[in-house]
């Protein structure tokens, strides 16, 4: 059985639960990193927990859900090796895998209802990275990550 990480804040909780059931039906085991209720919580805690495990190579793929998806994608993309794609439609989900080798799918529960989320997720999981010219671009991202790591971030 394939394992995929999942995490959400309170706004994404209901959609996360629906997608966990959907994943089980298509042969995936969802490792749920929370939240476990619709009680108010902070998305950075859950996005960081998931992204950290992807960055460390402990898991290959993850799904993050919050109200817009924006905050979770910002947090996740701070971690080396994480390519979190905020997706609101099926073609963007496919391209995020085919061209960008995304390893974290981010959904905004306020904009993507369950039926669409299932279609996006199905396509995202089924799409392979194309490599070729896209590999060159991923390698450039990795080079940028290496340049940034070790430098103190200044705003």
Write the pLDDT tens digit of every residue in 3-62: 999 999 999 999 999 999 999 999 999 999 999 999 999 999 999 999 999 999 999 999
Residue 155 has pLDDT above 50, yes or no: no
| Annotated catalytic residue, options 10, 41, 99, 134 | 99
Output 146 or 6, whichever has higher pLDDT: 6
Give the C-alpha distances (Å, rounded to integers) separating 78 from 51, 59, 103, 138.
8, 17, 14, 16
- Tell me, yes or no, if 134 is annotated catalytic: no
- Residue 53's CB is within 10 A of a number of other CB atoms, namely 18
- In which element (H, E) is residue 21 found? helix 13-25
Domains (range + CATH), the chain: 2-148 (3.40.1400.10)
Residue 150 has pLDDT above 70, yes or no: no
Residue-wise pLDDT tens digits, 5-16: 999 999 999 999
- Tell me, yes or no, if 99 is annotated catalytic: yes
């Amino acid at each position: 059985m394939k394992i995929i990480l999942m995490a959400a804040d309170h706004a994404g909780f209901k959609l996360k639960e629906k997608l966990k059931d959907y994943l089980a039906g298509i042969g995936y085991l969802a490792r749920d990193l929370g939240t476990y209720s619709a009680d108010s919580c902070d998305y950075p805690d859950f996005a960081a927990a998931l992204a950290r495990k992807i960055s460390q190579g402990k898991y290959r793929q993850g799904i993050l859900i919050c109200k817009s998806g924006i905050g979770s994608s910002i947090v996740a993309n701070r971690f080396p090796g994480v390519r979190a794609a905020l997706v609101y439609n099926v073609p963007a989900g496919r391209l995020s895998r085919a061209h960008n080798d995304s390893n974290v799918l981010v959904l905004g529960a306020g904009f993507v209802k369950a039926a669409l989320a299932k279609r996006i997720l199905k396509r995202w999981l089924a799409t392979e990275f194309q490599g070729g010219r896209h590999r060159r671009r991923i390698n450039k991202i990795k080079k940028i990550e290496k340049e940034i790591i070790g430098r103190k971030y200044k705003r």
